[in-house]
Structure 1
Amino acid sequence: MPGLLQLPPELLARIVEFVAIGKPAQDDSCDFGNKNKYQASKDPAFSSWNRPYNKFGLTPRPDVASLQNLRLASRHFSHACEVQLYCCVRLLPDEASASWYNEILSTPRLAGSVQKVIFQTREVPVGKDSSWACQFPGPDDDCVEPHPFFLDALDQVGQFPNLEHVKMVFSIKCVGPRGFDDGNYQECEGFREEILSAFYAGLNHREHPATKVYDLSIKDLQDITPQVFIDGTDEDENGFVENYKQVMSKITDLSLQLATEENEYTPENTLHIPESHDFFGHELKTYWLGPIAENLVYLKLYTSEMYFGMYPKCNLRTFPRLRKLLVGNLSVVNDDPIDWILCHAATLEQLTLDCAMIAVGAKFNQRTVDVANRRVIYLPLTVEEGRPCYRPQPRPKSTQQRWLWSTRWHHIFKRFQHNLPHLKYFVFGEGNRGQNACFDEAEILSCKLTDEVSVL
């Protein structure tokens, strides 16, 4: 130990950082016994350390216990461990968590260590009735309306002087305006909108705005854009639209996982819920990505369960400064999504495709389809009750329309190889779907190819 403590402070801090990051355990629970048959027998094992690693990519950090133990080993390690322990703070919807949050905030030394804050609207974000759930919600986790202490914590977030990363985590389960809330603690549209309004108000607080925040993440954002964003004006004194614009103007790193409503009783109709088509076809591009397109250098775009790209169709624009792109649950049915990735060739350095799927064949009964180009035909954008509508065009008859596509992943990989000259890191695999953790663990996804056929 004496020899170790004689190392320069920079090396000691680096040792503590490695303890904080740890090496995340690989979760094979979703493999169902299948091995990666495409890995060469003499290939070196893949390691996430071979590429840039963001210590905030995992939530929460994997080895807090080791940091706590190391902090007690020596006064030399105490401060460095304290910085790592308090660099990421998570607020749960209970008063004990809020009390701990306020204690950190009121201690200047600890508040100065905080670089990331995670706001979690429920103790078990996956929800009591979700197939991912492992436990029931907490005693105060009713999701009827935001708790006052939670809103108060949102209001104070800008008081962390070195805050750079913020994350909001909603429930994976959501209910739309025409959906049926069966009482299983689903977060309704109004609940989420009130949280988002307070979230952006806290980041753009008049007295203590979070001016250093450049990295924003929202997990399980419902695929319904608040009406005030569409109208473009604030109807009350909260200044939701203005706060949103001010905060997003500073964001260069954006992570979104989109939650979609599930038709529990007739799941075959889930893909026909109109809000999903409106959001992926128009709202995502116009209200969430469009205003910050010129600034983005990092984009992580996932869905919680639904595949997107083919149906619902996803329209996205080009990001002229984009260097890192991580996409989860993308369905590839023609060259459009590949061409969209390749249009970032001038800047793109890192590409991750998580749970991406090629639809080698498709069949539609009630939608108009351009079979030659493998596209579902959508009606021109219209406005109904003040909201833009982007809906697939119905067919007058139920005659089946189908197509087959001969393109496979090795064709697409070749296009990446020859047309992305600045690409340094490419990952293609399947994340931890069994725990709804793909979004959180995207930074450590490893390459893996398996033989799997899905029918949607």
Structure 2
Amino acid sequence: MKILELPEEILDLCCCFADKPTLCALRQTAHQWLPSATKRLFEHLDLRPTEESAARCQSILESRLNFAVSSVTFTTSDRDIVDNRDHVLYPDEAILLDESRDFLLELGRFQNLQAVSLRFAMDCAAPKRGRSYMVRQIRETWKFRESVIDCLIAAFGHQDHPAKKLRRLSIKNLQNFSKEATVTSPIFKSVLQQLDSLALQIATEYDNSSPEVNISLEEVHKFFNYDLKNHWLRPASSHLVDLKLYAAELEWGYFPACDLRDLHFPKLRSLALGLMTFSHDWQLDWILSQAETLETLILDDCPIVQACYMLVTFACDRSPPDRHAYKLARGEDSWEYGARWYEYFQRIRRGLPKLKRFGFGRGPWDEHQAFQNSAELGASLYRQRYCIFDGSIAPKAWVTDVAEVKGKRVYGCAWDKAPPYPDCDHEDQEALDALLNTIMERR
């Protein structure tokens, strides 16, 4: 059989491995290659916040290339600050250009649109704090972010051309502040209910003039404790196959707390978590409760909280009573969590019989690429897999730095009763190897 006699599906696969110059050449080589090369060449649109970019995307929407587009990414900043906290004064606030808004509102007109990605800047601030910084201002205000999200939701549920084929939504640097009118609207819920894949990286406010307050901001705890679960995850829980939950830079899971025990995803095959801290057995129990379907588990920089010191008395489940635990010295309390990774690995090996892919380690966080590169994470031990929470430290309560002192590895913190770093490298490695070997046998 000659190559030009191959079915179009085979030609599509061939084009998946071709670079852009090759695809351009294939479109002009033979008419049999034209559909496959065109679909691959124009399957993704990258919208930038400029009039020129919006015009180019609009022209593709109106052209015969419309059918080829299956995914659109909107990067909200044309500066090199999307993932950085440069200490600069912004001359103006970001606005959603009319040209960009007009294009976004017509996304549903793409015949085969299946995936939409949003990429906000990491810098954010809650209402009434957008201009509180001493040395810099927030360019992408919460009002700007909400205007973008509102525009997308309106496009997905448009009366004349809804995005009926949309199945994947990814938002990088979603601010931990939800406008009630948006997240409780019927359109918002209906959009989430049609998704197969949801990926969220949560950005939190960072006040560099008073960094010690960042972890105790009310919006942080409300979002992780309530909004994330009830507004973003619960509506999508019945249909999600792929779920990714990351934080941009703030450890979550324990403080701020995130209790997902009353959520179940009956179709979930892939789960990726970034910067989530493990402090209770029930957190792993919740992951194992997805055993009937879960095939991929990624734990990206998700340490076990070995011990915690707070300035208030804990509740009966070792949780601080509220966000004020970090800053109100009404008492002192501490606890230790005896779980180790070799125990977690053993439980994962026994408790997830369908697991075929396990990622464990630390992704490219320093380059701010961990979220989008989670699928590439390998599986190896890393020093920061254990941590402690020292509530007496400002500005950073989460402690992962370890030093050798008199033959023991100790955490670099002011808590004089902090336990030493766990001495179980051999056990952890042995259990990880056993887990990976079991997974290899299943493939």
Residue correspondence of structure 1 range 22-37 to structure 2 within 5 A? none
Inter-partner Cα distance in structure 2 for 1:270 and 1:395: 11
Inter-partner Cα distance in structure 2 for 1:395 and 1:262: 16
Structure 1: runs of 5 or more not aligned: 20-62, 233-240, 379-390
Residue correspondence of structure 1 range 40-439 to structure 2 within 5 A? 64=20, 67-68=23-24, 71=27, 76-108=32-64, 110-124=65-79, 126-127=81-82, 130=85, 142-181=92-131, 182=133, 184-229=137-182, 232=184, 241-316=185-260, 317-365=263-311, 367-370=312-315, 373-378=317-322, 391=323, 397-439=329-371
Deviations 1:83-133 (A, max 9, x none): 11211111000011111101111112x1100001111211247448616x9
Inter-partner Cα distance in structure 1 for 2:313 and 2:327: 5
Aligned length: 383
Give the deviation of 1:275 after TM superposition: 0.4
Structure 1 residues 402-411 or 276-285, which shifts more? 402-411
Deviations 1:352-372 (A, max 9, x none): 11111112122112x3324x7
Q: How has the CA–CA distance of structure 1 residues 73 and 334 changed in structure 2, closer, same or farther, with 3 Å as cutoff?
A: same
Q: Secondary structure at the match of 2:10?
A: helix
The root-mean-square deviation of aligned C-alpha atoms, in Å, is: 2.8
Inter-partner Cα distance in structure 2 for 1:289 and 1:397: 35
Inter-partner Cα distance in structure 2 for 1:87 and 1:395: 50
Inter-partner Cα distance in structure 2 for 1:136 and 1:214: 39
User: Which residue identity lines up with residue 13 of structure 2 in the other structure?
Assistant: R
Deviations 1:289-346 (A, max 9, x none): 1122222222111111111101000122222222211111111122132111111122
Inter-partner Cα distance in structure 2 for 1:68 and 1:265: 51
User: Which residue identity lines up with residue 294 of structure 2 in the other structure?
Assistant: L
User: Which residue identity lines up with residue 217 of structure 1 in the other structure?
Assistant: S
Q: How has the CA–CA distance of structure 1 residues 216 and 396 changed in structure 2, closer, same or farther, with 3 Å as cutoff?
A: closer
Inter-partner Cα distance in structure 2 for 1:395 and 1:270: 11
Give the deviation of 1:271 after TM superposition: 0.5
Deviations 1:44-77 (A, max 9, x none): xxxxxxxxxxxxxxxxxxx545544665666554
Give the deviation of 1:276 after TM superposition: 0.5
Q: Could you tell me which residue of structure 1 aligns to residue 11 of structure 2?
A: 12
Q: Do structure 1's residue 445 and structure 2's residue 377 form an aligned pair?
A: yes
Deviations 1:182-217 (A, max 9, x none): 454431111111111111111111111111111111
The question of whether the paired residues in 2 share the 8 Å contact of 1:352 and 1:426 is answered with: yes
The question of whether the paired residues in 2 share the 8 Å contact of 1:125 and 1:169 is answered with: no
The question of whether the paired residues in 2 share the 8 Å contact of 1:144 and 1:187 is answered with: yes
Q: How has the CA–CA distance of structure 1 residues 80 and 123 changed in structure 2, closer, same or farther, with 3 Å as cutoff?
A: same
The question of whether the paired residues in 1 share the 8 Å contact of 2:125 and 2:138 is answered with: no
The question of whether the paired residues in 2 share the 8 Å contact of 1:157 and 1:210 is answered with: yes
The question of whether the paired residues in 2 share the 8 Å contact of 1:17 and 1:84 is answered with: yes
Q: Could you tell me which residue of structure 2 aligns to residue 33 of structure 1?
A: none
The question of whether the paired residues in 1 share the 8 Å contact of 2:112 and 2:165 is answered with: yes
Inter-partner Cα distance in structure 2 for 1:251 and 1:347: 17
User: Which residue identity lines up with residue 117 of structure 1 in the other structure?
Assistant: V
Inter-partner Cα distance in structure 1 for 2:374 and 2:289: 22
Inter-partner Cα distance in structure 2 for 1:153 and 1:200: 13
Q: Secondary structure at the match of 2:209?
A: coil
User: Which residue identity lines up with residue 16 of structure 2 in the other structure?
Assistant: E
Task: Report the TM-score, using the length of structure 2 for normalisation.
Answer: 0.79
Give the deviation of 1:398 after TM superposition: 4.6
Q: Secondary structure at the match of 2:205?
A: coil
Q: Secondary structure at the match of 1:89?
A: strand
Q: Could you tell me which residue of structure 1 aligns to residue 432 of structure 2?
A: none
Q: How has the CA–CA distance of structure 1 residues 229 and 149 changed in structure 2, closer, same or farther, with 3 Å as cutoff?
A: closer
Q: Could you tell me which residue of structure 2 aligns to residue 53 of structure 1?
A: none
Task: Report the TM-score, using the length of structure 1 for normalisation.
Answer: 0.77
Inter-partner Cα distance in structure 2 for 1:352 and 1:136: 38
The question of whether the paired residues in 1 share the 8 Å contact of 2:104 and 2:151 is answered with: yes
The question of whether the paired residues in 2 share the 8 Å contact of 1:115 and 1:165 is answered with: yes
User: Which residue identity lines up with residue 155 of structure 1 in the other structure?
Assistant: L
Q: How has the CA–CA distance of structure 1 residues 325 and 225 changed in structure 2, closer, same or farther, with 3 Å as cutoff?
A: same
Give the deviation of 1:394 after TM superposition: 7.6
Inter-partner Cα distance in structure 2 for 1:335 and 1:105: 50
Inter-partner Cα distance in structure 1 for 2:115 and 2:168: 5
